[in-house]
């Protein structure tokens, strides 16, 4: 790779290489305030490859490569190099990480206790976490939450938050423009703009938090809270975990424990303000 | 036709964790997670070390559960046993 950088997000050290300088420059700006430890070996490698050597000069387009490669990963135009890097980082963690149980879930923490939100794309888990992280919560991550198999604690993975479509304006109105990355318009996922987490979220990213509340948000519809039984929560979280099967009995033990010890609710909400109010209400009730 | 007999999984092969209305069973041999509902966990518990068929199983379960004179207990248990065998949680003896 002609250009490369290293980024540490939570416990994961990434090495990201690219045939072009632009995605690396953009990543280094976005992750400038993250602690650096270039001496540490990389846990995951992401490669942004030119489709063919000459394509580096003519209509550049980015392929995602790395330790794990998904055959149908989209080639993206160079203007979306940052998105390609983000997708590559997610892919390497989702497929390769074994030290913790990985949940496709956002999380925020308060007083050493974690609120974990799991849901499909569009459920609003990322936006809710970003907005809570601008209040008196510590953002742990908008995409992945790691669960320690031995102790059951949640670990943060506070990558730059990937804001999509309407969430961009909603969050941009509340934060310093210096914390926002460039607008990446019309990607396969719509418009995307990254938010650099608050300094405290980055400084405390190695601080574990005890899972205290599991929520399954659903954006749209009337405000509603529905308690979720242990069985349904277990099934949903096996679906939300990218490495449950690979972890074998360790994953089974970690997940049964998480489900038994953590109250879980489905939450529907028509707008972010209502969503945040419901979260605060449930948090107060589970204390 | 005689009732087919079944053998329980070896001790330590299964890790059984009740989760409210469901029971999660981790099979250490296949590394698979099975989610079952009643009466599957009760059947597995009643299997014991020796081979057993639906008749023996019905007798054992009757010691702990009130079947209230129902006459379809055996065929139902035979069906459940064959389902547990298909999941690999019990084996044909």
Cα–Cα distance between A196 and A7 in angstroms, integer?
A: 14
- How much is the CA Rg of chain B, to the nearest whole Å? 13
A24 and A148 in a single domain? The answer is: no
Range of the domain at B73: 6-88
Residues A256 and A130 in one domain: yes
Reading the block at residue A14, the tokens are: 């990434």
Q: How does pLDDT run across A224-282, given as a tens digit for each residue?
A: 999 999 999 999 999 999 999 999 999 999 999 999 999 999 999 999 999 999 999 99
Does residue A144 share a domain with residue A268? yes
Question: B79: how many CB neighbours lie within 10 A of its CB?
Answer: 11
Q: Would the CB atoms of B35 and A234 count as touching at under 8 Å? A: yes
Domain for residue B40, yes or no? yes
The domain boundary, picked from A48, A66, A96, lies at A96
Side by side, the strands of the sheet bearing A184-187 are: A161-164, A190-195, A184-187
**Edge-to-edge strand ranges of the sheet holding B14-19:** B14-19, B22-27, B32-36
Q: Give the lowest-confidence range in A111-120, A183-192, A217-226, B23-32.
A: A183-192
How many domains are there within chain A? Answer: 2
Instruction: Report the gap between the CA of B2 and the closest CA in chain A (Å).
Output: 37
The predicted-structure confidence for B55-82, as pLDDT tens digits, reads as follows 999 999 998 888 877 788 899 999 999 9
Task: Tell me, yes or no, whether B79 lies in a domain.
Answer: yes
Range of the domain at A34: 3-96
pLDDT digit string, tens, across residues A208-220 = 999 999 999 999 9
Instruction: Write out the two tokens for A166.
Output: 């309407």
Residue B84 forms part of a structural domain: yes
Bigger pLDDT: A54 or B51?
B51
Q: Which of A283, A134, A124, A270 is nearest to A209 (CA)?
A: A283
> Model confidence at A94, in pLDDT bands (50, 70, 90)?
confident
Asked if residue B34 is part of any domain, the answer here is yes
Interface predicted TM-score (ipTM): 0.87
Nearest chain B alpha carbon to A261? B19
**Least confident piece of the model among A83-87, A137-141, A228-232:** A83-87
Which residue, of A70, A96, A122, is where some domain finishes?
Answer: A96
Are A105 and A200 contained in the same domain?
Answer: yes
Closest partner CB to A231 (pick from B20, B26, B31): B20
Q: What is the distance in angstroms between the Cα of B69 and the nearest Cα belonging to chain A?
A: 31
How many angstroms separate the CA atoms of A96 and A98, rounded? 6
Q: Chain A residue with minimal CA distance to B17?
A: A256
A239: contact with B, CB 8 A cutoff:
no
Same domain, A16 and A151: no
Evaluate whether residue B74 is within a structural domain: yes
Q: Are residues A8 and A35 in the same domain?
A: yes
Are A257 and A132 members of one domain?
yes
Query: Which residues of B touch chain A, with CB atoms under 8 Å apart?
Result: 15, 17, 19-22, 24, 26, 28, 31, 33, 35
Q: From CA A175, how far away is CA A177, in angstroms rounded?
A: 6
Residue A136 contacts B where some CB pair is shorter than 8 Å? no
Q: Is B7 helix (H, G, I), strand (E, B) or coil?
A: strand
Are A63 and A163 contained in the same domain?
no
| A81 and A161 fall within a common domain | no
Beta carbons of A230 and B22 less than 8 Å apart: yes
Residue B1, in any domain of the structure: no
Assess contact for A159 and A146: CB atoms under 8 A: no
Indicate whether A179 and A263 sit together in one domain.
Answer: yes
Q: Which of A67, A96, A125 is the last residue of a domain?
A: A96
Q: Do A229 and B20 touch (CB under 8 A)?
A: yes
Query: A56 and A119 share a domain?
Result: no
Same domain, yes or no: A112 and A220: yes
pLDDT the model gives residue A201 = 97
Contacts of B24 in chain A (CB under 8 A): 231, 234, 252, 256
């Amino acid at each position: 790779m002609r250009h490369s950088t290293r980024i540490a997000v939570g416990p994961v050290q990434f090495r990201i290489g690219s045939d072009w300088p632009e995605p690396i420059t953009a990543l280094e700006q976005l992750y400038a305030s993250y602690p650096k430890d270039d001496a540490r070996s990389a846990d995951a490698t992401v490669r942004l490859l030119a489709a063919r050597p000459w394509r580096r000069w003519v209509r550049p387009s980015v392929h995602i490569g790395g330790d794990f490669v998904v055959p149908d990963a989209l080639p993206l135009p160079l203007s979306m190099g940052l998105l390609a890097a983000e997708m590559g980082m997610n892919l390497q963690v989702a497929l390769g990480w074994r030290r913790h149980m990985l949940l496709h879930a956002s999380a925020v923490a308060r007083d050493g206790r974690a609120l974990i939100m799991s849901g499909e794309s569009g459920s609003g888990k990322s936006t809710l976490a970003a907005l809570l992280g601008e209040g008196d919560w510590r953002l742990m991550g908008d995409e992945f939450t790691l669960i320690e198999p031995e102790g059951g604690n949640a670990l943060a993975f506070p990558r730059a938050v990937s804001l999509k479509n309407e969430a961009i304006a909603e969050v941009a109105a509340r934060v310093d423009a210096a914390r926002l990355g460039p607008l990446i318009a019309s990607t396969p996922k719509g418009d995307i703009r990254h938010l650099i987490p608050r300094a405290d979220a980055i400084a405390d990213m190695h601080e574990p938090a005890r899972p205290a509340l599991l929520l399954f948000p659903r954006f749209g519809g009337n405000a509603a809270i529905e308690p979720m039984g242990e069985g349904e929560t277990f099934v949903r979280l096996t679906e939300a975990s990218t490495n449950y099967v690979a972890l074998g009995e360790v994953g089974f033990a970690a997940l049964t424990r998480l489900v038994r010890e953590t109250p879980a609710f489905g939450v529907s909400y028509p707008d972010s303000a209502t969503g945040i109010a419901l979260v605060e209400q449930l948090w107060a009730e589970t204390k | 036709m005689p009732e087919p007999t079944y053998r329980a999984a070896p001790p330590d092969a299964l890790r059984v964790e009740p989760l409210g209305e469901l029971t999660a069973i981790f099979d250490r041999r296949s590394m698979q997670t099975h989610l079952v509902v009643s009466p599957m966990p009760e059947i597995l518990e009643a299997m014991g070390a020796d081979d057993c068929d639906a008749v023996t199983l019905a007798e054992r379960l009757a010691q702990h559960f009130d079947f209230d004179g129902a006459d379809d207990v055996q065929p139902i248990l035979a069906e459940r046993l064959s389902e547990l065998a298909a999941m690999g949680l019990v084996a044909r003896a």
